[in-house]
Structure formats: C-alpha cells, structure tokens
C-alpha cells in the first residue's frame, strides 16, 4: 500500500486533531456565554484562546487537500470530481442547519442582529458568499474561506502545480500584504469579495499545503520532539497573545497560532506515515464528527441557554456544572447529527452527482 493511499484512507492523527480543534471552539463559546449569562468565567477563562481551533482547522484543511490530491495535479479531468467532493462535504449539512435556523430569525427577529431577515443576506449566507458582516449562522464565516480555498486550489488540477503558482503566489503575496497592514491597524480591502479573496487567513491554508509538500521530502528523526515543541509554543503563544498582545486582533492569529499549527500538523502526519499510531475510539469519533459539532455548537448553546433561562432551570444548577453538561450535550448532539444526518446527506448528494467515494 502506497504512503499516499495509506494516509488518505486512515488519517487518524489528523482526525483526532480535528476533534481537539472542534472542542477548543466549543469551550471558547462556553466561556463567552458564561460571561454574558452568569457574569463569570468558565474554567477560569483558561480556554479564552479556544477560537484558535479555527486556525488549526485551516492549516489541517490545506494539508489534507494537498496531500490527498497530489497525484492528480495537472489532471483536468479530475477537477469536477474534486469540486463535487468538496462541495458535497460542506453544503448538504450546512443547508439542513440553515433550513431550520434562518426561518427562526423571521419568527424571533429580536434575537438577531437585524440583517438575518434581509433577502440579500439570506441568499449570500445560503451560498456562503462573502458579506460585510457574518453569515446568518455566524460560525459559517470559516466555511466562506474554505469554499474560496477549494476554488483556488482547483487551479492545480487545471494548470498543474507549477502552472497554478502563477495564480496562487500573487494571491498569497497580497494576503501577506493584508496581514502586515492589519498588524499595523490598516485595512486595505473594504469590498467583502476582495477582502475574502485576499484575506490573511489564506496564509494558514498555504501553510498546510506547504506541510503536505514537505512531508515526504524532509527527513525527521524525532517527530515527537517537534510535536511537543510545537504544542508548547502554541500554548505559550496563547498565554502571551491573550494577555498582552490581543490588540493585534485577528491578524495576530496567523503568527501566534497558524505557525505552530504548521508544526503540529506536520509532526503528527509524519508520525503516522512512519509508524502506526493508536488513538482511542472516542477521539476518532470526535474527529469524524468535528464538522457537525462545529456547525451546530453555537446555535445549540444559545438555544439551550435561552430556553432554560425562560423555564428558570438555569438558576437551580451551579453555573460550572450547567455549562459542563451543556458542552457535553452539544458535543454528543454533534456526534448524533454527523452519524444520522450529515453522513447520509453526503452519501445521497454524491450518489446524485455520480461520485460514490
């Protein structure tokens, strides 16, 4: 069995990392809601950096897409199959969630920001088109970047890796300029489409691609040392960034979280390619369910909090225990949705399009 085939079929280490990233984001939003509802921190604000799970997701996405498809670079006949696979991974479950969430804002508009009932916002949110504000399902802002990356990456099928660099390098260069300008407090692009196309978040996707490109070119004797060092730097950066440098806002994430995520992803993948790595079944399940968990967690937390507030239940349970149970419920709901809604939806849409894997 070839390395590429083995890795594409059994991405256990990176699936586990997906699960960890999703849980980090859940813990972050539990912290945010705790301060709003209970006026106190959750776990003493130790997970205030949990949004960095998104940065891990972006690097992971770049790595997986590059590595799994690298044998098809330059094969124009594969581009449609690639795009169908990517879009049927993102859209079906997202549309199902939208089907329930968007009408809720028309029924209860006071719980929104005001744009949720605008037709233009509904259409843009439905198709994950960049807007001047977040999509109606706010966590889907990351999906807008994912879809953009999928489209940009499709150029490697049409033009090959070297040919696509004529398009991708200028995009990356402008993204670097965007990063530098934002680190200095300036915004270059005010148009939502241009801001998305040349966003500094592109750098994290490209870091993932770079890790995949180097994975079988760089010899690494001590993967565990690199992994430990990268995790340590990630956590140290989290402490520094959250306590002293948060004025850098989102742009600082690329440096403080994106770069160590590169080391984490590279070392984990290298470990798996060199030898078998065993993970608990629960961690694999969490990784497999990470997209559903991520997609529904904020909505679930908000709805349950509001419902239990109205019923008075929230005040009969210690806040820490309440939030811990809410987090567990959200995660298990995400696992349930993955197995009984997301997976069948992907299978059905791929069958319709003739893509069966």
- What is the C-alpha separation between 331 and 283, in angstroms, rounded? 12
Burial of residue 112 (number of CB atoms within 10 Å: 0-12, 13-18, 19+): middle
Q: pLDDT band at 244, cuts 50/70/90?
A: confident
pLDDT at 275: 76
CA-to-CA dists, residue 305 to 29, 97, 230, 326, angstroms: 12, 19, 36, 9
The mean pLDDT of the chain is: 93
Question: For 188-211, what is the mean pLDDT?
Answer: 97
User: What are the tens digits of pLDDT across the range 11-36?
Assistant: 689 999 999 999 999 999 999 999 99
- Residue of 85, 12, 22, 69 lying closest to 338 (CA atoms): 22
pLDDT at 270: 93
Burial of residue 350 (number of CB atoms within 10 Å: 0-12, 13-18, 19+): middle
pLDDT at 80: 94
Give every CB contact of residue 187 below 8 A, 6+ residues apart in sequence.
Answer: 181
Query: pLDDT at residue 4 above 50?
Result: no
Both tokens assigned to 223: 């993967």
Query: pLDDT at residue 260 above 90?
Result: yes
- What is the C-alpha separation between 180 and 63, in angstroms, rounded? 24
User: What are the tens digits of pLDDT across the range 71-82?
Assistant: 999 999 999 999
DSSP 198: T
Q: Which one is predicted more confidently, 8 or 202?
A: 202
User: What are the tens digits of pLDDT across the range 291-303?
Assistant: 999 999 999 999 9
Lowest mean pLDDT among 189-193, 195-199, 269-273: 269-273
Query: pLDDT at residue 10 above 70?
Result: no
**338, 22 in Cβ contact below 8 A?**
no
């Amino acid at each position: 069995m070839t390395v590429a085939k083995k890795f594409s079929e059994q991405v256990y280490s990176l699936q586990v990392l997906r699960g960890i990233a999703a849980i980090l984001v859940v813990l972050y939003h539990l912290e945010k809601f705790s301060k709003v509802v209970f006026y106190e921190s959750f776990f003493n604000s130790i997970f205030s950096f949990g949004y960095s799970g998104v940065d891990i997701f972006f690097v992971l996405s770049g790595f997986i897409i590059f590595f799994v498809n690298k044998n098809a670079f330059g094969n124009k006949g594969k581009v449609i199959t690639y795009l169908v696979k990517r879009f049927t991974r993102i859209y079906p479950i997202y549309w199902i969630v939208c089907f329930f969430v968007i009408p809720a804002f028309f029924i209860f508009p006071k719980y929104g920001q005001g744009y949720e009932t605008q037709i233009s916002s509904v259409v843009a949110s439905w198709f994950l088109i960049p807007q001047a504000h977040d999509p109606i399902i706010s966590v889907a802002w990351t999906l807008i970047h994912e879809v953009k990356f999928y489209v940009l990456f499709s150029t490697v099928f049409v033009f090959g890796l070297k040919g696509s660099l004529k398009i991708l390098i200028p995009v990356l260069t402008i993204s670097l300029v965007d990063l530098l300008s934002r680190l200095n407090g300036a915004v270059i692009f005010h148009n939502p489409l241009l801001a998305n196309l040349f966003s500094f978040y592109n750098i994290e996707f490209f870091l993932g691609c770079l890790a995949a490109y180097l994975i079988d070119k760089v010899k690494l004797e001590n993967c565990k040392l690199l992994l430990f060092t990268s995790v340590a730097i990630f956590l140290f950066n989290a402490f520094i960034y959250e306590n002293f440098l948060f004025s850098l806002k989102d742009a600082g994430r690329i440096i403080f979280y994106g770069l160590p995520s590169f080391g984490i992803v590279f070392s984990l993948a290298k470990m798996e390619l060199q030898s078998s790595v065993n993970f608990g079944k629960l961690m694999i399940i969490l990784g497999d369910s990470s997209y559903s968990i991520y997609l529904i967690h904020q909505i679930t937390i908000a709805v349950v909090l509001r419902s239990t507030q109205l019923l008075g239940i929230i005040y009969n349970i210690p806040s820490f225990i309440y939030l811990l149970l809410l987090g567990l419920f959200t995660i298990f709901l995400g696992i349930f949705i993955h197995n009984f809604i997301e997976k069948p939806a992907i299978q059905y849409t791929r069958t319709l399009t003739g893509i069966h894997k």
